[in-house]
Structure 1
Amino acid sequence: MSRAPAPEAAPRARAIAFYLPQFHPTPENDEWWGRGFTEWTNVAAGTPRFKGHGQPHLPADLGFYDLRVPETRQQQANLARAAGIEAFCYYHYWFKGKRLLNRPLDEVLGSGEPDFPFCLCWANESWSRAWSGREHDLLVQQSYEEADDTAHIAWLCSAFQDPRYLRVDGRPLFLFYMPEKLPDATRLLAQWRSESLRQIGVEPHFCAVQTGFSTRDAAGLRALGFDGVVQFEPNRKHFPTPKNAAGRAVSLLRRVLPEGWYDALRNNSRLGRQNISTVVDYASYVDERLAGCALEDTTYPVVFPSWDNSARRTAATIIENHDAGQYRRWLEDAIRRVAPRSAEQRLVFINAWNEWAEGCHLEPDRRHGFAFLDATAEALGSR
C-alpha cells in the first residue's frame, strides 16, 4: 500500500533584523546629551501617556547591556539564530569619513565573533536634537562629496569581504536609508559599483529604503539605479485612522498643510511642545498591510512587532502591540509574498532587533518575555 507524499514545506524566507548599535557610551553622546548617555537613558525614562500604556519597556534576559561586551553580542546572535533570523542589518553612520556608534561593528569585524551574518544600512541623515523637539539644532551635518564617496566605498569594500557579510545572488547587500537625500544617486551607485568590482571583484546589491518621507515610489527608486527597494515600516502613509482625537487632528494637519509646515508648527509653537501623540491600533495596521498590493520583484517587505517612540519624543507615535499572534500573522503574510522568488531573493526585514526607545524590539522584555521571538521562530519554521 503506497503512502501519500508528505506535503512540501513552505519555502524558507531570509529574515533580516535591523540592529541599532547605540547601546554604549561615546564621546559625542557624552558631549551632546550628558556623560554616560546611551539609548538606555531614554528607555528607562519612559512613562505612560494614558491608562494601560505599556511604558517603560524594560529588558529581561539580556538586561541593560553594553555593546562593548563580547558576551552580549554573542548572546544576541544566539537568540536571533534560534528564532530563525539569518542576519542583523547594522545601522552605519558615516559623515565625511567620520563614523559614529561604530565600536560594536568594529569589534565584530576585528574579532570574527560572533559568527553570525550581517549587512549594513547607511543611515545618511544629519543628526539633530530631534529627540527633544529641536530638529533645527544640528549636531552633525550630513554632506556629500565625490572624494568622500571614494573613501567611503573603499571602507565598505573591506567590510564586504568579511566572510559573514550577507550576500544576495553572490553580491553584498547594502541599504541606503534616505536614498533621495543623495545629490546624485545614479552617479554614486555607478561609481560604487565600478569601485567595488575593481577592489573585490563583485558589485553590491544596492537597496533603497522607502519610508513615509519618500517622494518616489518603488519604480521611481529603481529608476535611480537601485537593485531593490525595502518597504520600511511603520510608514505614516499606511496608518489607519488614529484611535485618539489628537492623533486624528495631527493626521488632518499633515494632509491639509503644505509640506514642511506641519513640522515647523510642531517644532516652533507652544502647540508643538504639548503631548500630541498619535495612537494607532496595531491589528488594524496589520489588516491594512495584509490587504496591500502584491510586491514587485526585488521589493522587500518589512514588519514590526510593536512601535512606541514616546520614550524619545513628546509628539509620539504609538502603535503598541501586546499580542504576538498579530505580529506572527503579518510576518507569515510577508513570508508568503516572497515565497515565489528564488531562494536568494526571499528577503524579509524585521524592524527591529533592539530599537528599545522606539518600543520596537524582538529582544525579550519583562512584559512579554520571549513571546515575539517565539512568534518569529514559528513563522519562519525554525521550531
Structure 2
Amino acid sequence: MTTSPELPLSGVLVADFGRVLAAPYATMLLADLGADVIKVEHPTMGDDTRAWGPPHAHGEATYFLSVNRNKRSVALDLRDDADRRRAVELARRADVLFENFRPGTMPKYGLGYDEVRAANPKIVYCSITGFGAGRGADLPGYDLLIQAVGGLMSVTGPAPGQPVKTGVALVDVLTGLHAAIGVLAALRHREVSGEGQHIEVNLLSTLLSSLVNQAAGYTLAGQVPGILGNRHPSIAPYEVFQAKDRPLVIAVGNDRQFAALCRGIGAPQLAEDPRFATNGDRVAHIDELTRELAGLLATRTAAEWFEHLTPLGVPCGPVNDLAQAFDLADRLGLAPRAVIHSDEGPPTDLVANPISLSRTPPRYERRPPRLGEHTTEIADWLDS
C-alpha cells in the first residue's frame, strides 16, 4: 500500500483522523509528496466540510475538495467495536498519525498517544488543538475565534476600531503548515534514532509566531500595535492607492525604490524632500506622503502604472480578484492548477501544490475521495 518510489515520502503511511482544515491541509501536502494518506471518517457524516457549501462542484463541496486530494477514505465509527479495532490496527501500522479532536477524545477509543506508542513505538503522532492540551483544552478551536483572541484582528481592518478577519481561515492553514514541518522533522529524527515522538501544534501559538514583526515589536519593545488599514507600521509608502480605475498597491521597501517611484510618477523632488528622504522620515510623515502620492497615482489606470513602474524597479500591482490572480500566475508560467483526471467523472481542477522540487515534484493522482470510497479494500487489509 505504497505509492510511486520516486516520490520523497513514498512508503510513509499516514493515518489521518483530522477534520475540517488544519490537519487535512497538512496531510494533503504530505500526500502530494507521495505519502499514502488514509482519511478516517464517520460513516454517515464524514468530514464536516463535506457539508460546507455552496459553492459545489459536481455535487461536492469545494471546501472539502480543496484539501483532500491524493487520499483514500475509510468509513469507521469509533464507537463500534469492529471499526474501533480497525482504527487501532491502522494506528499500529502507520508511520504518522494526525488528529485534531479535543484533548482527551482519542484516548477514549484507545487511540491516544500513549496507547498507540505502546503498540507502535516508532509512531510520529501529531495532535492539533486550538489552545493546547493544558488549561486551554476545553476551548473550541475555530479559526475566527483564534484570529480574534490571538491578536490578528487587532491589526487587521480598515481603521482603528474596525477589526476584520482575513478572507480565508489563515490560522488553520498556517497551523497545517507548521504541523507538516513538525512531522517531517520527526520523521528525520526517527530515521536517525529509531524513535517516534508526539508533536503538538496549536492554533493560538501558531498565530502568535506568525505575527512575526508585530509580535516582536511587543515582546522586544513593549509596543502594542493597532490597526493601520493597508499601511505598514515600519515601511512607507507600503499601502493601497486608488488609481484611475481600481486600487493599486505600492510596496516600496527602501530609499532607492522610493526615488524610482518619484521619477516614475513625474515628481522627483519628493525624494529630496526632507520629510520623505529616508524610510524613517516617510513613516513619520505618512499622511503628508500619502496625500502627495494619491493625486499623482489617480491619473493613470492600475495596469498602466504596473507596466510603467515595474521596469523601473518599483514593486507595485493592481488589486486582483481570484480570476485575475490565476491569470497572472498562468502568464508567469507558474502552473497554478492541479488537474486530476478520472474515469468516473469530469476532471477535478484544484490549486497546485506551491512546492517545486526539481527531482521529485508533487503528484496529483487521486481526486478527493467520496465518503468511505475505499472502506472495503482498507478494511480487508486491516483485517488480514
* TM-score, normalised with respect to structure 2: 0.29
Structure whose CA Rg is larger:
2
Q: Which structure has the higher relative contact order (CA within 8 Å, separation 6+)?
A: 1
